[in-house]
Structure 1
Amino acid sequence: MKIRRVLATAVAIAVTTPAVMLSVTPAFADTKPAAQPQAKPTVKELEKAAAEAQKAYDEAVAAEEAAYQAVEDAVSETAPLNVAAEKARKAADEAATAKTTADEAVTDALDDLTEAATDAEREAAEKALAEAKAAATVAATTAETAEADAKAALKLSDDARREAFKALGKAQGATKQALAAKTAADAALARAKEEENQGGGECLDEPGLTTVVTGFPSKVTAGTATTFSVRVTNGTDKDMEKVLTYASVHATDKSGAKDIAKYLKLKWSSASSPKWKTVDGDLYIDTIGALKRGEHGDIKLRLDVDAKAPAGQGLTFIAGDYFNKDGCGLTPDAAVNKFDIKAAAGKPAPKPTKTAAAGSGVTPQGSGSSVPVNTTNGSLAATGSSDATAQIALAGGAAVVLGAGAMFLVRRRRTGADV
């Protein structure tokens, strides 16, 4: 019998809330209408949703590129407002110089009014002083006006730059949402096709089978290894003939745009198998074996972070499955643990990029905390979300949760014969 997890969340995002995720446009609407429950979608409906999500994502990426170009234009020295501001500043500086010259002329004219001067010289000096004072007054007014004009022109230039950065931040947020929707829609479609093509029954959620993680760090550093514990407990009223533990790790750099999971590896050991072993591509740990009612099994996990890993954010999914001759079951909730990745000492932080960033999906609550991803009621545990920044760099790692969660949910389970 084929074993699968229900992809209710991806279906809900991809199909029942198109206004939230699948209709991202350059207008970047801030309001999000509530989703309305619908029947389970067909493959055809999911194909349409996936196509719409792809189109929305492509449009969001194009809009972000345009917003980034607008930022570059706004900060360019040749931008009209910047040219006007520079011209106004030059005029203000010239007016200030003219005022200084006029003030000096007044001083010189005063110096010419000496007691030894003849009447003709005094008359000429007084005339020169009057003219100098008049010129100084005009120069002062001109300088004041020019300075005000320069400040106004600079404000216009600064405001234009600020608005360009603000628009870019909003565009990046829209791109993240669109990518999240695309990831969920693609996963939902893959799931539906798998069910259609392969048939078979589903394993049932088993609330009595629990997975608890302890000692998981809130931060890890490149070049180090951190050990933590996992306990799987059979809290049901039946014996379980075979229990497996599922464990996976996902990560992005600080921008959220680059997958850095290749720098992270999970290894496991147990009392019966103390030598550390790498969690293989199947992501299942086969060491607990049978669990009678009320019993538990313990596993040690180790998170190895390569010394070359850049700073970023990561998370793990840890869950349990059991297999009996008369059926099988899954832990309804996966323990999700979010952590920060610190670059090795002396390793410079990566520069922000303008690459289209990952989508803003649900995130686990708090750094280092273990929270459930629920697959029973049709939603990933909504425990927070990240905001787009108002600058080119954006808060990274937000989409890793939804993307990894979709991967976790859509993953095919083993057959009873395989395990």
Structure 2
Amino acid sequence: MKIRRILATAVAAAVTTPVLLLSVTSAFAETKPAAQSQDKPSVAELELAAAAAQTAYDDAVAAQSAAYAALETALSDTTPLALAAAAAHAVAVDAATAKTAADQGVVDAQAALDALTDTATDEERTAAETALTDAQAAATTAAEAKTDADAKDVEAQDACDDERVAAARTYEQAKKATAAALADKEAADEALAEAKEEEAEEGGEGGEDCVPESKLTTVVTGLPSTVVAGTKVKFNLRVTNGSDKAMDEVFPFAYVHATDTSGLKDIDDLVHLQWSSASNSGWQTVDNEHYMDAISPLKAGAHADIKMRLTIDASAPAGNGVTFVAGDYFNDNGSCGGTPDLEGYEFMIAAAGTDPGDVDDAKPGTTKPNTDVQPQTGTSASPVNGTLASTGSSSATSQLALASGAALAIGAGAVFVVRRRKAGTHA
């Protein structure tokens, strides 16, 4: 017997603003289980994706290594620009020395002229005046040479510095690219491992096909349509078996998703959903992956209530939220099924300190997300729906949008990877 999990990214793309209208397409595929495999990549495709991600990572590591070597070279004193800068600086130093000497020559020539007495001959005075004129001309020439040398020195130093800055930026970009490639590789490896695990489980377990059961319902009551940041609200989740047969085990499922008012910024880390039931009175955190404790059994026509508590951090911005609920059942004879859809109850998030006044309860949304994804290859992909698979219950999980080469390997439509777990791991 297996269980399903449904993660946040399966619905995040369906957020609309300013009011959140989220829901999810049917949790069961309308086609037969044999056709359901078309909605998710095969192990072979994921192996190609993992190989492509590994190659991209290896290339990124090599590029980072080359960028680091280039940076070390640029920082050395032996590059052409570094040598040119050193030479230009030496010329500027010599020009400064020459100007200082020329300026001193003017001072000395002026002093010699001033030192002449009334007894000096015309020839001596003329010679002193000529020496001063020559010294002044030499000083002017030396000043111009220094100005030119200083400009070339600055230009050469700037060129050398620019080369080093560019090399440093290239290295930083290479490091970021390596980190991104590593994340892609790890995601691809995880997706492949999970697909292989699922394949192994499918090969080792039998069981009847799970079917949608519209008479198994999950209804939320008491959840306000507006929740203020920094507060917590309690509400109720009722699971009802409206069929004429008992269900040996019923697993309720809940998940909360929220964004800011733009609908573009995910703030899931600022909203917290917990549950408590008759069999487990303590507050347990909903981790968006697993079922709550099983209701065993749920007789025909009977219902069970689960207490829910939603807490929103005071730092949360104004935004929109939705709480999704569903339920699956598993019988001892191997039969299984569940609610055909995730039911999404929409609420608005008001900024901390806001007084919303009296508000109505949250109502189920009506808008369905567009899951008709166009892959990068140009061919259309079948809508990706969470399904109960032939060997038991499973879920669509937005495992990864395989980036770079990995995405090209399997197409953008293959963003959901089905993962099945044993029922004993739900807690």
Please give the TM-score of this superposition, normalised by the length of structure 2.
Answer: 0.51
- Over aligned residues, Cα RMSD in angstroms? 5.6
CA offsets, 1:342-373, max 9 Å, x none?
A: xxxxxxxxxxxxxxxxxxxx9xxxxxxxxxx9
Determine which of 231, 238, 251 is the counterpart of 2:243: 238
Q: CA deviation at 1:294?
A: 9.3
Structure 1 equivalent of residue 72 of structure 2: 76
- 1:41-190 matches, cutoff 5 A: 46-76=42-72, 79=75, 83=79, 86-111=82-107, 112-113=109-110, 116=114, 118-190=125-197
Quickly say closer, same or farther: Cα 1:385–1:320, change in 2 above 3 A. Answer: same
Given that residues 217 and 327 in structure 2 are in contact (C-alpha distance below 8 angstroms), is that contact kept between their aligned partners in structure 1? Answer: yes
Q: CA deviation at 1:155?
A: 1.8
1:146 Cα deviation from its structure 2 partner: 2.5
| Superposition pairs of residues 258-407 of structure 1, within 5 angstroms | 269-271=276-278, 273-275=280-282, 284-286=292-294, 290=298, 297-300=305-308, 320-323=327-330, 327-331=335-339, 332-333=341-342, 374-376=385-387, 380=396
Alignment CA distance shift 1:285-1:47 (3 Å): same
For CA contacts below 8 A with separation 6 or more, give which structure has more relative contact order. 2
Contact 1:243 1:323 in 2 (8 A): yes
Q: Is the 8 A contact 2:5 2:397 kept in 1?
A: no
Amino acid at match of 1:145: K
User: Structure 1: how far apart are the matches of 2:228 and 2:45?
Assistant: 37
Deviation at 1:375, TM superposition (A): 0.7
3-state secondary structure, aligned to 1:199: coil
Q: Is the 8 A contact 1:243 1:290 kept in 2?
A: yes
Q: Deviations over 1:307-326 (max 9, x none)?
A: xxxxxxxxx99863224578
Match of 1:340 in 2: none
Quick one: distance in 1 between partners of 2:212 and 2:166? 55
1:247-293 superposed Cα distances (whole Å, 9 cap, x missing partner): 899xxxxxxxxxxxxxxx99853356434579999965135863776
Contact 2:255/2:325 (8 A) holds in 1: yes
What percent identity do the matched residue pairs reach? Answer: 24
Cα distance in 2, alignment partners of residues 231 and 41 from structure 1:
36
* Partners of 1:198 and 1:383 in 2: CA distance: 24
What is aligned with 1:412? 422
Give secondary structure in 2 for the equivalent of 1:238.
coil
Q: Secondary structure at the match of 1:145?
A: helix
Cα contact 2:64–2:175 (8 A) shared by 1: yes
CA deviation digits over 1:112-143, x for unaligned, max 9? 33552533233233223323322332232222
Q: What secondary structure, in the 3-state scheme, does the structure 2 residue paired with 1:298 have?
A: strand
Closer, same or farther in 2 for the Cα pair 1:237/1:278, shift >3 Å?
closer
Deviation of the 1:385 alpha carbon: 7.5
Corresponding residue for 2:199?
192
In structure 2, relative to structure 1, the CA distance for the partners of 1:385 and 1:92 (3 Å cut) is farther
Indicate the SS of the match to 1:274.
coil
CA contact (8 A) 2:337 2:388 kept: no
The Cα of 1:158 is off from its aligned counterpart by 1.9
- Alpha carbons of structure 1 residues 334 and 84: separation in structure 2 relative to 1, 3 Å: farther
Per the normalisation by structure 1, the TM-score is 0.52
2:324·2:342 contact (CA, 8 Å) conserved in 1? no
Listed one character per residue, the Cα deviations across residues 28-77 of structure 1 (whole Å, up to 9, x for unaligned) are: xxxxxxxxxx96669xx945335434433432332232233234334437
